[in-house]
């Protein structure tokens, strides 16, 4: 739908409602939102947001093709990419990101992206690709590796995982396992294991799995097959399913649920602060380190990244307040600039090999 254009792609996806004709918030492709049937106030309310597109009643395939495909293809070319789903619980974030297991057609962004990656790896024969996966969950500011134990309940690493930054490497999570994958099938198996671990882990802790943020990352490395080229490119494709953004106190939560809600609200408000700062070009300092989520996503929101935000909303008029809050967040994200560049590196060992080959060729040429 768009190429590396320097701004975040912001799309709204409206979850289909049972009572389609009634109580519907109208969200037009130009970002105009109206609530036509507000019987309590008996007037039509209207709001306007900067959006890239509004998608309602689109298949998973069309959604992937229109919104995400360019980010996935960019990652194979060496550009970092992020697709992030934001919205209240029940609005369709997990359906969009992972999909439903009910039918093959309902596969979400992650399985489709994995399919595309391995199809391209087959086609792009001039390069040798290495693909790795990681799956991070952030629950109450605790980092959980969803692929640390491929059987049984995942636990936070005993040594503690840590979001770190290193020159040349950027942001990474120390202690998060990286898994090499060689085929779509192998990758899907890992995704499935991660999903199971997410569910098992949440049962063990007696919590709802939508109370955490999840970052599924495809790490790609592409090397030219010609021996005379010591350059190689790397990229990270982050597919992010954020925790429900509903406001605190709405459900009268207490105990553990209240604690979760406080953590979620805090981390999403830090995410919003980081996005506001990224969108304000006079601001030099962006507060990324305030939460694990923003720190882990530091190089994956604006800057060197092709970024797409999916704002998942419900169509019911009763949800208007949450919908407006989601759309306000989406509007702020639209102000964030991106400046993606190919992550090219030089392999010092291979450089020496290449130099030796060049020397040998030169010597041979001068001999004959």
* Positions at the binding site for ATP: 87-94
Quote the tokens at residue 63. Answer: 């959604």
Figure out which of the listed residues 80, 210, 238, 245 binds Mg ion, where binding follows CB under 5 A.
210
Q: Find which of Mg ion, ligand ADP, none residue 156 binds, CB within 5 to 8 Å per kind.
A: none
Q: Find which of ligand ADP, Mg ion, none residue 278 binds, CB within 5 to 8 Å per kind.
A: none
Closest by alpha carbon to 108, among 73, 58, 166, 150? 58
Residues 6+ apart with CB under 8 A from 20: 315
Figure out which of the listed residues 80, 177, 312, 326 binds ligand ADP, where binding follows CB under 6 A.
312
- Please tell me what DSSP assigns to residue 107: B
What is the number of the residue whose Cβ is closest to Mg ion? 94
CA 336 to chain centre: 16
| 117-137 core/surface letters (b: 16 or more CB in 10 A; e: else) | bbebbeeeeebebebbbbbbb
- Please tell me what DSSP assigns to residue 64: I
Q: Which residues pair with 53 in a beta bridge?
A: 11
The window from 70-78, 88-96, 224-232, 346-354 that contacts ligand ADP (CB under 6 A) reads: 88-96
92/154 with CB nearer Mg ion: 92
Closest by alpha carbon to 76, among 31, 14, 38, 124? 124
Q: Is 91 in the site for ligand ADP (CB under 6 A)?
A: yes
Residues 6+ apart with CB under 8 A from 237: 71, 72, 75, 80, 81, 82, 113, 117, 217, 218, 219, 220
CA atoms of 363 and 228, how far apart (whole Å): 16
Q: Binding to ligand ADP (CB under 6 A): which residues in 48-67?
A: none
Q: Is 15 in the site for ligand ADP (CB under 6 A)?
A: yes
Quick note: the x/- pattern for Mg ion over 80-99, rule CB under 5 A, is -------------xx-----
16/160 with CB nearer ligand ADP: 16
DSSP-derived pairing of the beta strands 344-346 and 179-181 = unpaired
Instruction: Centre a 10 Å sphere on the Cβ of residue 196 and count the other Cβ atoms it contains.
Output: 16
Q: Is 154 in the site for ligand ADP (CB under 6 A)?
A: no
CA atoms of 222 and 266, how far apart (whole Å): 38
Q: Is 343 in the site for Mg ion (CB under 5 A)?
A: no
The window from 90-98, 132-140, 285-293, 303-311 that contacts ligand ADP (CB under 6 A) reads: 90-98
The window from 74-82, 92-100, 116-124, 355-363 that contacts ligand ADP (CB under 6 A) reads: 92-100
Q: Do 304 and 331 form a contact (C-beta atoms < 8 A)? A: no
Q: Is 326 in the site for Mg ion (CB under 5 A)?
A: no
The window from 19-27, 85-93, 142-150, 283-291 that contacts ligand ADP (CB under 6 A) reads: 85-93
**Least Å distance between CB 91 and ligand ADP?**
4
Q: Is 291 in the site for Mg ion (CB under 5 A)?
A: no
Question: What are the phi and psi torsion angles at 27 (to 5°)?
Answer: -130, 105
Q: Find which of Mg ion, ligand ADP, none residue 217 binds, CB within 5 to 8 Å per kind.
A: none
Q: Binding to ligand ADP (CB under 6 A): which residues in 261-300?
A: none
Quote the tokens at residue 126. Answer: 């001039």
The window from 44-52, 89-97, 257-265, 323-331 that contacts ligand ADP (CB under 6 A) reads: 89-97
CA atoms of 250 and 247, how far apart (whole Å): 6
Quick note: the x/- pattern for ligand ADP over 229-248, rule CB under 6 A, is ---------------x----
Give contact residues for ligand ADP (rule: CB under 6 A): 15-16, 87, 89-95, 100, 210, 244, 312
């Amino acid at each position: 739908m768009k190429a590396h254009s320097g701004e975040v792609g912001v799309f709204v996806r409206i979850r289909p409602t049972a009572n389609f004709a009634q109580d519907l918030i109208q969200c037009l492709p130009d970002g105009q939102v109206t609530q036509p049937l507000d019987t309590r106030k008996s007037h039509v309310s209207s709001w306007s947001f900067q959006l890239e597109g509004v998608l309602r009643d689109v298949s998973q395939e069309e959604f992937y093709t229109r919104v995400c495909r360019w980010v996935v293809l960019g990652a194979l070319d060496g550009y970092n990419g992020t697709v992030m789903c934001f919205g209240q619980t029940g609005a369709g974030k997990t359906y969009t990101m992972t999909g439903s297991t009910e039918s093959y057609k309902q596969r979400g962004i992650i399985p489709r992206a994995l399919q595309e990656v391995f199809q391209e790896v087959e086609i792009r024969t001039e390069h040798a690709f290495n693909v790795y996966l990681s799956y991070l969950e952030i629950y109450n500011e605790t980092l959980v590796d969803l692929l640390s134990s491929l059987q049984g309940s995942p636990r936070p690493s005993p040594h503690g995982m840590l979001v770190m930054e290193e020159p040349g490497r950027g942001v990474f999570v120390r202690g998060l396992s990286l898994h090499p994958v060689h085929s779509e099938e192998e990758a899907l198996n890992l995704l499935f294991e991660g999903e199971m671990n997410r569910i098992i882990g949440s049962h063990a802790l007696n919590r709802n799995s939508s109370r955490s943020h999840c970052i599924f990352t495809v790490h790609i490395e592409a090397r030219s097959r010609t021996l005379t080229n010591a350059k190689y490119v790397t990229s990270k494709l982050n597919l992010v399913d954020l925790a429900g953004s509903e406001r605190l106190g709405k459900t009268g939560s207490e105990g553990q649920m209240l604690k979760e809600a406080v953590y979620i609200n805090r981390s999403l408000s830090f995410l919003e602060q980081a996005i506001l700062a990224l969108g304000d070009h006079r601001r030099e300092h962006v507060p990324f380190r305030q939460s694990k989520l923003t720190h882990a996503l530091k190089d994956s929101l604006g800057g060197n990244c092709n970024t797409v935000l999916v704002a998942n909303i419900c169509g019911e008029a009763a949800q208007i307040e949450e919908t407006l809050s989601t759309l306000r967040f989406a509007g702020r994200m639209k102000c964030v600039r991106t400046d993606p560049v190919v992550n090219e590196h030089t392999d010092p060992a291979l450089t020496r090999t290449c130099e030796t080959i060049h020397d040998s060729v030169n010597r041979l040429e001068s001999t004959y």
